[in-house]
Chains A and B, each alone.
Chain A
Amino acid sequence: MMSALARTPFDRTLLLVIPAAAFMLLLFVYPFLYGLWLSFNPKEGGALANYHHFFTTDNLWPTIWITLKLALPATIINVGIALPIAFKMRVKTRYQRWVTTILVVPITLGTVLIAEGMLLYFGPKGWLSQFLQFFHLYEGPIRLTHNYWGVLISLVISGFPFAFLLILSYITGIDPVLARAAATLGADSRNQFRHIYLPLLAPGLAMCFCLAFVQAFSVFPSAVLLGSPAGPTRVISIAAYEAAFEQYDYSLASAIAMVMGFVQLVIVAAVLSLRNLFYRGPVTGGKG
Protein backbone atom coordinates (compact mmCIF):
# COMPACT_ATOMS: atom_id res chain seq x y z
CA MET A 1 0.00 0.00 0.00
CA MET A 2 3.00 2.29 0.28
CA SER A 3 2.97 4.83 -2.51
CA ALA A 4 6.06 6.33 -4.01
CA LEU A 5 5.43 9.49 -2.04
CA ALA A 6 5.75 7.73 1.28
CA ARG A 7 9.39 7.03 0.48
CA THR A 8 10.39 10.62 -0.15
CA PRO A 9 12.54 12.09 2.63
CA PHE A 10 9.67 13.94 4.27
CA ASP A 11 6.05 13.11 3.63
CA ARG A 12 4.01 16.26 3.95
CA THR A 13 0.81 14.27 4.22
CA LEU A 14 1.83 13.57 7.79
CA LEU A 15 1.25 17.24 8.56
CA LEU A 16 -2.47 16.66 8.10
CA VAL A 17 -2.66 14.82 11.37
CA ILE A 18 -1.15 17.67 13.36
CA PRO A 19 -4.24 19.86 13.97
CA ALA A 20 -6.22 16.95 15.39
CA ALA A 21 -3.27 15.68 17.44
CA ALA A 22 -2.52 19.16 18.78
CA PHE A 23 -6.14 19.68 19.71
CA MET A 24 -6.28 16.40 21.61
CA LEU A 25 -3.01 17.13 23.41
CA LEU A 26 -4.15 20.60 24.41
CA LEU A 27 -7.73 19.88 25.45
CA PHE A 28 -7.64 16.24 26.47
CA VAL A 29 -4.17 15.24 27.59
CA TYR A 30 -3.21 18.54 29.22
CA PRO A 31 -6.38 18.89 31.33
CA PHE A 32 -6.09 15.23 32.25
CA LEU A 33 -2.50 15.59 33.44
CA TYR A 34 -3.40 18.85 35.15
CA GLY A 35 -6.22 17.05 36.95
CA LEU A 36 -3.81 14.31 37.98
CA TRP A 37 -1.36 16.88 39.33
CA LEU A 38 -4.17 18.78 41.05
CA SER A 39 -5.39 15.62 42.76
CA PHE A 40 -2.00 15.26 44.45
CA ASN A 41 -2.06 18.87 45.67
CA PRO A 42 -4.92 18.93 48.14
CA LYS A 43 -6.19 21.99 49.95
CA GLU A 44 -4.59 20.67 53.10
CA GLY A 45 -2.50 17.64 54.06
CA GLY A 46 0.07 15.61 52.17
CA ALA A 47 0.11 14.53 48.57
CA LEU A 48 -2.17 11.58 49.15
CA ALA A 49 -4.65 13.39 51.42
CA ASN A 50 -7.42 13.45 48.79
CA TYR A 51 -7.16 9.75 48.08
CA HIS A 52 -6.97 9.00 51.78
CA HIS A 53 -10.08 11.14 52.28
CA PHE A 54 -11.88 9.37 49.44
CA PHE A 55 -11.21 5.86 50.69
CA THR A 56 -12.02 6.62 54.33
CA THR A 57 -15.18 8.71 53.94
CA ASP A 58 -18.44 6.82 54.19
CA ASN A 59 -20.29 8.66 51.47
CA LEU A 60 -17.40 8.58 49.00
CA TRP A 61 -15.73 5.19 48.60
CA PRO A 62 -18.96 3.13 48.40
CA THR A 63 -19.88 5.16 45.29
CA ILE A 64 -17.48 2.92 43.35
CA TRP A 65 -19.55 -0.18 44.15
CA ILE A 66 -22.83 1.64 43.65
CA THR A 67 -21.73 2.73 40.20
CA LEU A 68 -20.37 -0.70 39.26
CA LYS A 69 -23.55 -2.37 40.53
CA LEU A 70 -25.49 -0.22 38.07
CA ALA A 71 -23.10 -0.08 35.14
CA LEU A 72 -22.05 -3.73 34.89
CA PRO A 73 -25.56 -5.27 34.81
CA ALA A 74 -26.76 -2.52 32.45
CA THR A 75 -23.88 -3.19 30.05
CA ILE A 76 -24.28 -6.97 30.23
CA ILE A 77 -28.03 -6.68 29.59
CA ASN A 78 -27.52 -4.28 26.69
CA VAL A 79 -24.83 -6.29 24.95
CA GLY A 80 -26.51 -9.59 25.81
CA ILE A 81 -29.85 -8.60 24.29
CA ALA A 82 -28.37 -6.66 21.38
CA LEU A 83 -26.25 -9.61 20.24
CA PRO A 84 -29.02 -12.14 19.41
CA ILE A 85 -31.28 -9.45 17.94
CA ALA A 86 -28.49 -8.08 15.77
CA PHE A 87 -27.67 -11.65 14.72
CA LYS A 88 -31.26 -12.10 13.54
CA MET A 89 -31.20 -8.72 11.77
CA ARG A 90 -28.03 -9.47 9.79
CA VAL A 91 -30.02 -11.03 6.98
CA LYS A 92 -31.31 -8.47 4.54
CA THR A 93 -35.08 -8.65 4.47
CA ARG A 94 -37.86 -6.20 3.78
CA TYR A 95 -38.16 -5.52 7.48
CA GLN A 96 -34.47 -5.12 8.28
CA ARG A 97 -34.32 -1.40 7.64
CA TRP A 98 -37.60 -0.70 9.45
CA VAL A 99 -36.81 -2.74 12.51
CA THR A 100 -33.32 -1.30 12.83
CA THR A 101 -34.68 2.23 12.50
CA ILE A 102 -37.31 1.63 15.19
CA LEU A 103 -34.73 0.09 17.52
CA VAL A 104 -32.28 2.95 16.96
CA VAL A 105 -34.73 5.82 17.46
CA PRO A 106 -34.43 5.78 21.29
CA ILE A 107 -30.91 7.21 20.78
CA THR A 108 -32.60 10.54 20.14
CA LEU A 109 -34.42 10.51 23.44
CA GLY A 110 -31.44 11.40 25.57
CA THR A 111 -31.18 10.56 29.25
CA VAL A 112 -33.17 13.57 30.41
CA LEU A 113 -36.20 12.88 28.24
CA ILE A 114 -36.10 9.20 29.24
CA ALA A 115 -36.07 10.24 32.89
CA GLU A 116 -39.04 12.56 32.39
CA GLY A 117 -40.93 9.91 30.44
CA MET A 118 -40.23 7.22 33.02
CA LEU A 119 -41.35 9.44 35.89
CA LEU A 120 -44.68 9.87 34.10
CA TYR A 121 -45.16 6.39 32.70
CA PHE A 122 -43.85 4.23 35.55
CA GLY A 123 -44.96 6.67 38.24
CA PRO A 124 -47.61 5.78 40.86
CA LYS A 125 -50.36 7.35 38.73
CA GLY A 126 -48.85 6.43 35.38
CA TRP A 127 -50.31 4.33 32.61
CA LEU A 128 -48.41 1.20 33.61
CA SER A 129 -49.79 1.04 37.14
CA GLN A 130 -53.26 2.00 35.90
CA PHE A 131 -53.09 -0.78 33.34
CA LEU A 132 -51.94 -3.37 35.86
CA GLN A 133 -54.62 -2.38 38.35
CA PHE A 134 -57.33 -2.22 35.71
CA PHE A 135 -56.73 -5.81 34.72
CA HIS A 136 -56.02 -6.83 38.32
CA LEU A 137 -52.61 -8.14 37.35
CA TYR A 138 -50.80 -6.55 40.21
CA GLU A 139 -52.46 -4.54 42.95
CA GLY A 140 -49.57 -3.20 44.94
CA PRO A 141 -47.73 0.00 44.19
CA ILE A 142 -45.08 -0.16 41.48
CA ARG A 143 -41.74 1.14 42.59
CA LEU A 144 -39.74 1.66 39.47
CA THR A 145 -38.73 5.28 39.95
CA HIS A 146 -36.59 7.01 42.55
CA ASN A 147 -34.61 3.86 43.22
CA TYR A 148 -32.04 1.46 41.79
CA TRP A 149 -34.40 -0.09 39.24
CA GLY A 150 -35.38 3.25 37.74
CA VAL A 151 -31.77 4.09 36.99
CA LEU A 152 -31.04 0.58 35.65
CA ILE A 153 -34.06 0.67 33.31
CA SER A 154 -33.10 4.09 31.99
CA LEU A 155 -29.54 2.87 31.38
CA VAL A 156 -30.91 -0.05 29.37
CA ILE A 157 -33.20 2.19 27.33
CA SER A 158 -30.50 4.70 26.53
CA GLY A 159 -27.70 2.17 26.05
CA PHE A 160 -29.39 -0.57 24.06
CA PRO A 161 -29.80 1.25 20.70
CA PHE A 162 -26.12 2.15 20.69
CA ALA A 163 -24.98 -1.39 21.51
CA PHE A 164 -27.36 -2.79 18.91
CA LEU A 165 -26.13 -0.42 16.19
CA LEU A 166 -22.50 -1.20 16.90
CA ILE A 167 -22.91 -4.99 17.04
CA LEU A 168 -25.07 -4.94 13.91
CA SER A 169 -22.39 -3.16 11.95
CA TYR A 170 -19.75 -5.60 13.19
CA ILE A 171 -21.90 -8.62 12.32
CA THR A 172 -22.70 -7.37 8.82
CA GLY A 173 -18.97 -6.90 8.31
CA ILE A 174 -18.41 -10.66 8.57
CA ASP A 175 -18.35 -12.41 5.24
CA PRO A 176 -21.46 -14.62 5.00
CA VAL A 177 -19.46 -16.99 2.79
CA LEU A 178 -17.84 -18.34 5.96
CA ALA A 179 -21.19 -19.20 7.49
CA ARG A 180 -22.36 -20.76 4.23
CA ALA A 181 -19.26 -22.93 4.17
CA ALA A 182 -20.17 -24.10 7.66
CA ALA A 183 -23.74 -24.71 6.54
CA THR A 184 -22.53 -26.98 3.73
CA LEU A 185 -20.81 -29.02 6.39
CA GLY A 186 -24.10 -29.37 8.19
CA ALA A 187 -23.96 -26.63 10.80
CA ASP A 188 -27.34 -25.20 11.76
CA SER A 189 -27.96 -21.57 12.68
CA ARG A 190 -26.96 -22.09 16.31
CA ASN A 191 -23.73 -23.88 15.47
CA GLN A 192 -22.88 -21.28 12.84
CA PHE A 193 -23.26 -18.66 15.52
CA ARG A 194 -21.16 -20.53 18.06
CA HIS A 195 -18.32 -21.65 15.82
CA ILE A 196 -18.19 -18.97 13.11
CA TYR A 197 -19.76 -15.70 14.17
CA LEU A 198 -18.97 -15.57 17.87
CA PRO A 199 -15.19 -16.07 17.53
CA LEU A 200 -15.00 -13.56 14.67
CA LEU A 201 -17.13 -11.09 16.59
CA ALA A 202 -15.05 -11.26 19.75
CA PRO A 203 -12.97 -8.11 19.07
CA GLY A 204 -16.05 -6.14 18.03
CA LEU A 205 -17.97 -7.36 21.05
CA ALA A 206 -15.13 -6.37 23.37
CA MET A 207 -15.05 -2.88 21.81
CA CYS A 208 -18.81 -2.59 22.05
CA PHE A 209 -18.78 -3.72 25.67
CA CYS A 210 -16.19 -1.08 26.54
CA LEU A 211 -18.02 1.75 24.80
CA ALA A 212 -21.37 0.73 26.31
CA PHE A 213 -19.72 0.47 29.71
CA VAL A 214 -18.28 4.01 29.46
CA GLN A 215 -21.76 5.36 28.86
CA ALA A 216 -23.25 3.46 31.76
CA PHE A 217 -20.35 4.12 34.11
CA SER A 218 -20.58 7.89 33.79
CA VAL A 219 -24.31 7.83 34.54
CA PHE A 220 -25.24 11.20 35.92
CA PRO A 221 -28.56 12.83 34.95
CA SER A 222 -30.66 9.69 35.31
CA ALA A 223 -29.09 8.85 38.69
CA VAL A 224 -30.15 12.28 39.92
CA LEU A 225 -33.58 12.44 38.32
CA LEU A 226 -34.68 8.80 38.52
CA GLY A 227 -32.74 7.45 41.46
CA SER A 228 -32.27 8.51 45.02
CA PRO A 229 -29.06 10.53 44.68
CA ALA A 230 -28.56 10.71 48.42
CA GLY A 231 -28.59 6.96 48.97
CA PRO A 232 -28.71 3.84 46.81
CA THR A 233 -27.89 5.56 43.51
CA ARG A 234 -25.32 8.02 44.72
CA VAL A 235 -22.97 7.20 41.85
CA ILE A 236 -19.37 8.32 41.61
CA SER A 237 -20.04 11.09 39.11
CA ILE A 238 -22.44 12.70 41.57
CA ALA A 239 -19.72 12.62 44.22
CA ALA A 240 -17.26 14.21 41.79
CA TYR A 241 -19.76 16.87 40.74
CA GLU A 242 -20.60 17.77 44.33
CA ALA A 243 -16.95 18.09 45.26
CA ALA A 244 -16.29 20.39 42.30
CA PHE A 245 -19.36 22.58 42.11
CA GLU A 246 -20.88 22.48 45.58
CA GLN A 247 -17.79 22.36 47.81
CA TYR A 248 -15.56 24.06 45.21
CA ASP A 249 -12.79 21.59 46.09
CA TYR A 250 -11.40 21.04 42.58
CA SER A 251 -8.51 19.07 43.99
CA LEU A 252 -10.76 16.49 45.63
CA ALA A 253 -13.02 16.48 42.56
CA SER A 254 -10.03 15.73 40.35
CA ALA A 255 -9.01 12.92 42.68
CA ILE A 256 -12.50 11.39 42.41
CA ALA A 257 -12.41 11.82 38.63
CA MET A 258 -9.04 10.02 38.55
CA VAL A 259 -10.36 7.14 40.67
CA MET A 260 -13.27 6.94 38.24
CA GLY A 261 -10.96 6.82 35.24
CA PHE A 262 -8.81 4.19 36.93
CA VAL A 263 -11.75 1.87 37.66
CA GLN A 264 -12.91 2.34 34.08
CA LEU A 265 -9.48 1.42 32.72
CA VAL A 266 -9.31 -1.69 34.92
CA ILE A 267 -12.61 -2.91 33.46
CA VAL A 268 -11.51 -2.10 29.90
CA ALA A 269 -8.21 -3.91 30.42
CA ALA A 270 -10.03 -6.95 31.84
CA VAL A 271 -12.40 -7.07 28.86
CA LEU A 272 -9.62 -6.65 26.32
CA SER A 273 -7.52 -9.38 27.91
CA LEU A 274 -10.55 -11.70 27.81
CA ARG A 275 -10.77 -10.96 24.11
CA ASN A 276 -7.26 -12.22 23.58
CA LEU A 277 -8.42 -15.71 24.51
CA PHE A 278 -10.34 -15.79 21.24
CA TYR A 279 -9.31 -16.17 17.63
CA ARG A 280 -7.68 -13.16 15.98
CA GLY A 281 -7.54 -12.91 12.24
CA PRO A 282 -9.30 -11.85 9.07
CA VAL A 283 -13.09 -11.87 8.90
CA THR A 284 -13.28 -12.45 5.17
CA GLY A 285 -13.12 -15.74 3.34
CA GLY A 286 -10.19 -16.73 1.13
CA LYS A 287 -10.54 -17.32 -2.59
CA GLY A 288 -10.31 -21.06 -2.04
Chain B
Amino acid sequence: MKVWLDKAWRGFLLGLMTIFVVNIGLMIAAVATSSFARRWLGTWLPDGWTTSWYTAAWKEFQLFDVLLVTIEVVFAVVFLALLIGVPAAYTLARRDFVGKRALMLLFLLPLMVPPITYGIPLATVLYQAHLAGTIWGVILANLIPAAPFVILVMTPFIEQIDQNLESAARVFGASTGRMFMHILVPLLAPGILAASLLVLVRTIALFELTFLTAGSDSQTLVVALYYAVFAAGVRAPQSVDAMAMIYMAVTLVWLLIALRFVNPTQLVSRVKEHPQHA
Protein backbone atom coordinates (compact mmCIF):
# COMPACT_ATOMS: atom_id res chain seq x y z
CA MET B 1 0.00 0.00 0.00
CA LYS B 2 2.78 2.38 0.96
CA VAL B 3 4.83 1.48 -2.09
CA TRP B 4 1.81 2.07 -4.26
CA LEU B 5 1.26 5.50 -2.72
CA ASP B 6 4.90 6.40 -3.26
CA LYS B 7 4.67 5.42 -6.92
CA ALA B 8 1.47 7.39 -7.39
CA TRP B 9 3.07 10.46 -5.82
CA ARG B 10 6.15 10.18 -8.01
CA GLY B 11 3.95 9.78 -11.07
CA PHE B 12 1.90 12.79 -10.06
CA LEU B 13 5.01 14.97 -9.72
CA LEU B 14 6.38 13.76 -13.04
CA GLY B 15 3.03 14.44 -14.70
CA LEU B 16 2.90 17.93 -13.22
CA MET B 17 6.39 18.74 -14.46
CA THR B 18 5.61 17.34 -17.89
CA ILE B 19 2.42 19.38 -18.23
CA PHE B 20 4.27 22.52 -17.16
CA VAL B 21 7.20 22.02 -19.52
CA VAL B 22 5.17 20.79 -22.51
CA ASN B 23 2.68 23.65 -22.35
CA ILE B 24 5.38 26.27 -22.04
CA GLY B 25 7.27 24.66 -24.89
CA LEU B 26 4.16 24.73 -27.07
CA MET B 27 3.48 28.32 -26.04
CA ILE B 28 6.92 29.40 -27.22
CA ALA B 29 6.52 27.30 -30.35
CA ALA B 30 3.25 29.09 -31.08
CA VAL B 31 4.97 32.48 -30.90
CA ALA B 32 7.84 31.20 -33.05
CA THR B 33 5.48 29.73 -35.65
CA SER B 34 3.48 32.91 -35.80
CA SER B 35 6.61 35.02 -36.26
CA PHE B 36 7.49 33.05 -39.40
CA ALA B 37 3.91 32.76 -40.70
CA ARG B 38 2.72 34.45 -43.86
CA ARG B 39 -0.91 34.14 -42.75
CA TRP B 40 -2.17 32.04 -39.85
CA LEU B 41 -5.88 31.94 -39.12
CA GLY B 42 -7.35 29.09 -37.11
CA THR B 43 -5.43 26.23 -38.72
CA TRP B 44 -2.83 23.89 -37.27
CA LEU B 45 -0.04 25.46 -39.27
CA PRO B 46 0.14 28.67 -41.28
CA ASP B 47 -0.38 28.87 -45.05
CA GLY B 48 3.15 29.86 -45.87
CA TRP B 49 6.44 30.84 -44.33
CA THR B 50 8.38 34.07 -44.43
CA THR B 51 11.11 35.88 -42.56
CA SER B 52 9.85 39.31 -43.57
CA TRP B 53 8.31 39.96 -40.12
CA TYR B 54 11.75 40.08 -38.60
CA THR B 55 12.93 42.77 -40.98
CA ALA B 56 9.62 44.57 -40.49
CA ALA B 57 9.94 44.42 -36.69
CA TRP B 58 13.55 45.52 -36.90
CA LYS B 59 12.54 48.66 -38.81
CA GLU B 60 9.12 49.38 -37.24
CA PHE B 61 10.21 49.18 -33.63
CA GLN B 62 13.69 50.64 -34.23
CA LEU B 63 15.06 47.52 -32.65
CA PHE B 64 18.65 48.48 -33.28
CA ASP B 65 18.34 51.55 -31.06
CA VAL B 66 16.35 49.62 -28.47
CA LEU B 67 18.94 46.85 -28.34
CA LEU B 68 21.71 49.40 -28.04
CA VAL B 69 19.96 51.09 -25.11
CA THR B 70 19.30 47.70 -23.51
CA ILE B 71 22.96 46.71 -23.76
CA GLU B 72 24.12 50.06 -22.38
CA VAL B 73 21.69 49.92 -19.47
CA VAL B 74 22.36 46.30 -18.61
CA PHE B 75 26.14 46.55 -18.65
CA ALA B 76 26.16 49.82 -16.73
CA VAL B 77 23.88 48.28 -14.09
CA VAL B 78 26.02 45.14 -13.78
CA PHE B 79 29.24 47.16 -13.52
CA LEU B 80 27.93 49.66 -10.97
CA ALA B 81 26.16 46.99 -8.92
CA LEU B 82 29.42 45.04 -8.63
CA LEU B 83 31.40 48.19 -7.90
CA ILE B 84 29.32 49.12 -4.87
CA GLY B 85 27.96 45.68 -4.00
CA VAL B 86 31.11 43.57 -3.67
CA PRO B 87 32.91 45.85 -1.16
CA ALA B 88 29.72 46.11 0.90
CA ALA B 89 29.30 42.33 0.82
CA TYR B 90 32.90 41.99 1.96
CA THR B 91 32.35 44.20 4.99
CA LEU B 92 29.12 42.44 5.88
CA ALA B 93 30.74 39.02 5.56
CA ARG B 94 33.88 39.84 7.58
CA ARG B 95 33.05 42.41 10.20
CA ASP B 96 30.72 42.82 13.11
CA PHE B 97 29.77 46.37 13.90
CA VAL B 98 27.09 48.48 15.47
CA GLY B 99 24.12 48.85 13.13
CA LYS B 100 24.98 45.84 11.02
CA ARG B 101 21.48 44.43 11.35
CA ALA B 102 19.95 47.74 10.32
CA LEU B 103 22.23 47.83 7.31
CA MET B 104 21.25 44.28 6.35
CA LEU B 105 17.62 45.35 6.56
CA LEU B 106 18.37 48.35 4.33
CA PHE B 107 19.80 46.01 1.70
CA LEU B 108 17.00 43.48 2.04
CA LEU B 109 14.07 45.89 1.89
CA PRO B 110 14.31 46.76 -1.83
CA LEU B 111 13.89 43.07 -2.57
CA MET B 112 10.93 42.82 -0.19
CA VAL B 113 8.96 45.88 -1.31
CA PRO B 114 7.06 45.68 -4.62
CA PRO B 115 8.91 47.68 -7.32
CA ILE B 116 5.82 49.76 -8.07
CA THR B 117 5.66 50.92 -4.43
CA TYR B 118 9.03 52.63 -4.51
CA GLY B 119 9.05 53.04 -8.30
CA ILE B 120 6.34 55.69 -8.30
CA PRO B 121 7.90 58.00 -5.66
CA LEU B 122 11.28 57.31 -7.25
CA ALA B 123 10.00 58.36 -10.67
CA THR B 124 8.65 61.55 -9.09
CA VAL B 125 12.02 62.33 -7.52
CA LEU B 126 13.87 61.49 -10.75
CA TYR B 127 11.57 63.78 -12.74
CA GLN B 128 12.37 66.62 -10.35
CA ALA B 129 16.08 65.92 -10.79
CA HIS B 130 15.54 65.88 -14.59
CA LEU B 131 16.92 62.36 -14.69
CA ALA B 132 13.73 60.49 -15.56
CA GLY B 133 13.35 59.85 -19.26
CA THR B 134 17.11 59.66 -19.69
CA ILE B 135 19.24 56.59 -19.81
CA TRP B 136 20.83 57.55 -16.47
CA GLY B 137 17.47 57.53 -14.78
CA VAL B 138 16.83 54.03 -16.07
CA ILE B 139 20.26 52.85 -14.92
CA LEU B 140 19.84 54.32 -11.43
CA ALA B 141 16.36 52.83 -11.06
CA ASN B 142 17.56 49.39 -12.12
CA LEU B 143 20.46 49.58 -9.68
CA ILE B 144 18.12 49.67 -6.69
CA PRO B 145 17.22 45.96 -6.79
CA ALA B 146 20.51 44.98 -8.49
CA ALA B 147 22.96 46.23 -5.83
CA PRO B 148 21.25 44.42 -2.90
CA PHE B 149 21.01 41.31 -5.06
CA VAL B 150 24.79 41.35 -5.61
CA ILE B 151 25.31 41.77 -1.86
CA LEU B 152 22.96 38.88 -1.10
CA VAL B 153 24.66 36.54 -3.59
CA MET B 154 28.24 37.58 -2.81
CA THR B 155 28.16 37.40 0.99
CA PRO B 156 28.19 33.57 1.20
CA PHE B 157 30.90 33.43 -1.47
CA ILE B 158 33.12 35.74 0.56
CA GLU B 159 32.48 33.83 3.77
CA GLN B 160 33.88 30.73 2.05
CA ILE B 161 37.30 32.31 1.51
CA ASP B 162 39.94 31.53 4.12
CA GLN B 163 40.70 34.63 6.12
CA ASN B 164 44.31 33.58 6.59
CA LEU B 165 44.99 34.50 2.96
CA GLU B 166 43.96 38.07 3.69
CA SER B 167 45.97 38.18 6.89
CA ALA B 168 49.01 36.91 4.98
CA ALA B 169 48.64 39.68 2.44
CA ARG B 170 48.32 42.19 5.28
CA VAL B 171 51.47 40.87 6.95
CA PHE B 172 53.35 41.62 3.76
CA GLY B 173 52.02 45.14 3.92
CA ALA B 174 49.29 45.08 1.28
CA SER B 175 46.74 47.85 1.55
CA THR B 176 43.03 47.06 1.41
CA GLY B 177 42.94 48.05 -2.25
CA ARG B 178 45.88 45.85 -3.22
CA MET B 179 44.55 42.99 -1.15
CA PHE B 180 41.26 43.27 -3.03
CA MET B 181 42.89 43.30 -6.44
CA HIS B 182 45.44 40.53 -5.85
CA ILE B 183 43.75 38.20 -3.39
CA LEU B 184 40.01 38.64 -3.29
CA VAL B 185 39.04 39.42 -6.87
CA PRO B 186 40.85 36.37 -8.35
CA LEU B 187 39.44 34.08 -5.66
CA LEU B 188 35.99 35.55 -5.97
CA ALA B 189 35.93 35.38 -9.77
CA PRO B 190 33.37 32.53 -9.91
CA GLY B 191 31.10 34.33 -7.47
CA ILE B 192 31.45 37.65 -9.27
CA LEU B 193 30.68 35.96 -12.56
CA ALA B 194 27.64 34.27 -11.07
CA ALA B 195 26.34 37.49 -9.54
CA SER B 196 26.92 39.56 -12.66
CA LEU B 197 25.23 37.07 -14.97
CA LEU B 198 22.23 36.82 -12.64
CA VAL B 199 21.95 40.60 -12.38
CA LEU B 200 22.24 40.77 -16.14
CA VAL B 201 19.39 38.31 -16.72
CA ARG B 202 17.26 40.00 -14.07
CA THR B 203 17.87 43.48 -15.45
CA ILE B 204 16.94 42.47 -18.99
CA ALA B 205 13.65 41.11 -17.66
CA LEU B 206 12.89 43.82 -15.08
CA PHE B 207 9.85 45.63 -16.36
CA GLU B 208 8.28 47.90 -13.76
CA LEU B 209 11.14 50.23 -12.87
CA THR B 210 12.23 50.78 -16.46
CA PHE B 211 8.64 51.31 -17.48
CA LEU B 212 8.16 54.01 -14.84
CA THR B 213 11.39 55.90 -15.52
CA ALA B 214 12.10 55.45 -19.23
CA GLY B 215 11.45 58.07 -21.89
CA SER B 216 10.83 57.31 -25.54
CA ASP B 217 14.53 57.06 -26.37
CA SER B 218 15.62 55.22 -23.23
CA GLN B 219 13.34 52.18 -23.44
CA THR B 220 14.79 48.76 -22.94
CA LEU B 221 13.68 45.76 -24.94
CA VAL B 222 11.11 44.54 -22.42
CA VAL B 223 9.35 47.92 -22.24
CA ALA B 224 9.38 48.31 -26.03
CA LEU B 225 7.85 44.83 -26.24
CA TYR B 226 5.14 45.81 -23.75
CA TYR B 227 4.18 48.84 -25.81
CA ALA B 228 4.15 46.71 -28.96
CA VAL B 229 1.79 44.15 -27.39
CA PHE B 230 -0.27 46.87 -25.68
CA ALA B 231 -0.85 48.66 -28.98
CA ALA B 232 -1.52 45.38 -30.81
CA GLY B 233 -4.06 45.82 -33.53
CA VAL B 234 -2.22 48.80 -34.91
CA ARG B 235 0.54 46.53 -36.18
CA ALA B 236 0.55 43.06 -37.65
CA PRO B 237 0.61 40.57 -34.77
CA GLN B 238 3.39 38.63 -36.50
CA SER B 239 5.85 41.49 -36.22
CA VAL B 240 5.10 41.72 -32.47
CA ASP B 241 5.79 37.98 -32.29
CA ALA B 242 9.04 38.43 -34.20
CA MET B 243 10.06 41.04 -31.65
CA ALA B 244 9.12 38.70 -28.80
CA MET B 245 11.34 36.00 -30.32
CA ILE B 246 14.25 38.42 -30.56
CA TYR B 247 13.67 39.31 -26.91
CA MET B 248 13.66 35.66 -25.89
CA ALA B 249 16.79 34.89 -27.90
CA VAL B 250 18.63 37.73 -26.17
CA THR B 251 17.73 36.60 -22.65
CA LEU B 252 18.07 32.89 -23.38
CA VAL B 253 21.64 33.25 -24.65
CA TRP B 254 22.63 34.99 -21.43
CA LEU B 255 20.81 32.55 -19.18
CA LEU B 256 22.45 29.57 -20.88
CA ILE B 257 25.84 31.23 -20.46
CA ALA B 258 24.97 31.85 -16.82
CA LEU B 259 23.92 28.24 -16.24
CA ARG B 260 27.14 27.10 -17.87
CA PHE B 261 29.11 28.79 -15.09
CA VAL B 262 26.70 28.72 -12.19
CA ASN B 263 25.19 25.62 -10.77
CA PRO B 264 21.63 26.71 -10.03
CA THR B 265 21.81 24.91 -6.71
CA GLN B 266 24.72 27.05 -5.59
CA LEU B 267 22.93 30.35 -5.28
CA VAL B 268 22.04 30.72 -1.67
CA SER B 269 24.18 28.31 0.22
CA ARG B 270 27.16 26.11 -0.32
CA VAL B 271 26.47 22.83 -1.98
CA LYS B 272 27.39 19.54 -0.50
CA GLU B 273 27.57 16.73 -2.98
CA HIS B 274 24.61 14.52 -2.32
CA PRO B 275 25.43 10.86 -2.58
CA GLN B 276 23.10 8.68 -4.54
CA HIS B 277 20.84 7.08 -2.01
CA ALA B 278 18.73 4.02 -2.24
Please report A residues at the B interface, Cβ cutoff 8 Å.
1-6, 11-14, 16-17, 19-21, 23-25, 27-32, 34-36, 38, 81, 84-85, 88, 90-93, 97, 99-118, 120-121, 125-128, 130, 157, 160, 165-166, 168-170, 172-173, 175-176, 180, 183, 188-190, 204, 210-211, 214, 217-218, 220-221, 224-225, 237, 240-241, 244, 250, 253-254, 256-258, 260-261, 264-265, 268
Are B265 and A100 in contact, with the CB atoms below 8 A?
A: yes
Please report B residues at the A interface, Cβ cutoff 8 Å.
2, 6, 10, 13, 16-17, 20-21, 23-24, 26-28, 30-31, 34, 41-42, 44, 83-85, 87-88, 90-92, 94-97, 103, 106-107, 109-125, 140-141, 143-144, 147-148, 151, 163, 166-167, 170, 176, 201, 204-205, 207-208, 211-212, 222, 225-226, 229-230, 240-241, 244, 247-248, 251-252, 254-255, 259, 263-277
Across the interface, A102 reaches (CB within 8 A) one of B21, B42, B118, B270, namely B21
Q: Count A-B pairs with CB separation below 8 Å.
A: 286
Residues of chain B lying within 8 A (CB to CB) of residue A183: 277
Are B124 and A31 in contact, with the CB atoms below 8 A?
A: yes
Residues of chain B lying within 8 A (CB to CB) of residue A165: 264, 267
Residues of chain A lying within 8 A (CB to CB) of residue B109: 28
Across the interface, A108 reaches (CB within 8 A) one of B107, B252, B268, namely B252
Across the interface, A218 reaches (CB within 8 A) one of B41, B95, B116, B204, namely B116
Given contacts A116-B240, A172-B265, contact A20 B124 (CB under 8 A): no
Residues of chain A lying within 8 A (CB to CB) of residue B251: 108-110
Are A20 and B84 in contact, with the CB atoms below 8 A?
A: yes
Are A108 and B116 in contact, with the CB atoms below 8 A?
A: no
B211 to chain A, nearest CB (A): 8
Are B201 and A108 in contact, with the CB atoms below 8 A?
A: yes
A125 to chain B, nearest CB (A): 4
Residues of chain A lying within 8 A (CB to CB) of residue B205: 107-108, 110
Are A85 and B222 in contact, with the CB atoms below 8 A?
A: no
A-B contact pairs, 25 of them (CB 8 A): A3-B167, A20-B85, A24-B148, A27-B140, A28-B106, A35-B124, A91-B274, A92-B273, A92-B276, A100-B264, A106-B24, A107-B205, A108-B248, A110-B225, A112-B244, A116-B225, A117-B28, A127-B26, A166-B268, A169-B266, A169-B268, A221-B226, A254-B121, A257-B117, A261-B118
Main SS at interface, chain A: helix
Are A20 and B87 in contact, with the CB atoms below 8 A?
A: yes
Are A29 and B106 in contact, with the CB atoms below 8 A?
A: yes
Assembled-state Cα–Cα distance A36/B125 (Å): 12
A205 to chain B, nearest CB (A): 12
